[in-house]
Chains A and B, each alone.
Chain A
Amino acid sequence: MRFVVSTIYMFLFLSALVFAHGNETHVMGTVTKVEDGSIVVKTKEGDKTVMVMSTTKFVKGTATVTQKDVRVGDRVVIHAMPMGDMLHATEVKIGTVTAAQHQH
C-alpha cells in the first residue's frame, strides 16, 4: 500500500522537477549616500543604488557590524542579488580606509 501511495505522490510531484543557479552581482566603489534601506555607491559606471534587507550582513575587516557603520566616503564591496530593476544586498564589506584617506 505504501508503495502505491508513494508512486501516486511521485507522479503528482513531477512539477517540482527544476534546477536553477544564482546571479549575484558585486558592486565596488565609494559610498555617496546612506539611507534607511539603501546605500548609493559611486562606481566607474556611475552611481548604483543597492537596497538593504533585514538579512544583509555587514562586515568591516574581520568584525561583523551594522548599517550604521557605513559612512559617506567609505570604500565598499557589496554582493547583491538582482531582483527586477533593483539590487538587493546580501553582504556589504566596508573598507578599512576611506577614499579620502587613500588620496592623502
Chain B
Amino acid sequence: MTKKLVLIAVLVVVLIPWIVLGAIAHSGMSARIKPAAWEIWTATRLRSLAIPREQKMQKNPFSANDSLLKEAREHFADHCASCHANDGSGHTALGQGLSPQAPDMRLPATQSKSDRELYSIIHNGIRFSGMPAWGTDGKDNDSWKLVLFIRHLPQLTADEIQDMEKYNPKSDTERAEEQEEEDFLRGKSDPTPGNQ
C-alpha cells in the first residue's frame, strides 16, 4: 500500500510535471498553437471545480422579457462583443487570437451549462484564459441578466445584431475609418482608394 502511494506521489509530483514542462519547452507558449486536448480537459475540469456542487443548479433570479433582454444585449455589445462578437460566435479578431479561442456560445457546449455556471464564468472570469472577472463582489445583477442574453443567442435576429453595432466600443480612429468606408460605399470618394 505504502509503495503504491509512493509511486503515485512520484508520478504526480515529478513525472507528470516533467512531461508537461518538456512539452511546453518543445512547443513554446505561442497563442497560435491550438490548445492540446489535455489542456482543454484540464481547463474544463478546473472551471467546473471552481463552482461548489450545491450552487451549480442555482437558477437565474431574473426571467427573460423584452426590456431585460434589450438591456443585456446593449451591455453585451459594449462589454463582451469585442471578443465574443455580437452574435456570440467568437468570430472577432480578438476572440480568434486568444488561446483558447473564444467559444461559439450558441452551441451546446455553452448552452448546456447551468445558469449558475454561466454566471460564475462572467462574474469570476477564468484563469489562464482571456476571460476577465466582471462585476463587483456580492450579488451581480448585470451578470445574471447577461446569462439571459446568452440563452437568447441561438435565436438572435439580424435586426438585433444590427442594433448592437451602435453599442460596440469604438475609438476615434475606428469612427473615422467607418466614416471613410461609408463615404466610399455611397460613392462620395475615389473608387480605388488604398487599403487601411
Contact = CB atoms under 8 A, between A and B. Distances in A.
A3 B193 CA distance: 59
A45 B20 contact: no
Interface stretch (B29-37, B117-125, B139-147): B29-37
A99 B93 contact: no
A42 B192 CA distance: 7
B196 A28 contact: yes
B99 interface: yes
Interface string A17-46: 111111111111110000000000011110
A79 B89 CA distance: 17
Interface stretch (B62-70, B71-79, B108-116, B177-185): B177-185
A29 B162 contact: no
Nearest to A57: B91
B97 A13 contact: no
Contacts of B49: 2, 5-6, 9
Contacts of A13: 39, 42-43, 46, 127-128
A21 B187 contact: no
Contacts of B158: 64
A17 B185 CA distance: 42
A102 B191 CA distance: 8
A94 B185 contact: yes
A22 B97 contact: yes
Nearest to A61: B185
Contacts of B181: 26, 28, 77, 93
B195 interface: yes
A45 to B, nearest CB: 6
B29 A17 contact: yes
Contact of A16 (B12, B92, B99): B99
B23 A15 contact: yes
B193 A28 contact: yes
Given A20-B31, A20-B98, A29 B39 contact: no
Given A30-B192, A43-B194, A9 B185 contact: no
A81 B185 CA distance: 21
B100 interface: yes
Given A15-B23, A23-B97, 14 more contacts: A10-B127, A15-B20, A16-B35, A16-B43, A17-B128, A18-B31, A22-B93, A26-B181, A28-B184, A43-B193, A44-B194, A45-B195, A75-B184, A77-B185
29 contacts: A5-B49, A6-B49, A11-B17, A13-B39, A14-B128, A15-B23, A16-B128, A16-B129, A20-B32, A20-B98, A20-B99, A22-B92, A22-B96, A26-B196, A27-B195, A28-B184, A29-B193, A30-B191, A43-B194, A44-B194, A55-B91, A77-B185, A81-B93, A90-B91, A93-B185, A95-B184, A95-B185, A97-B186, A102-B191
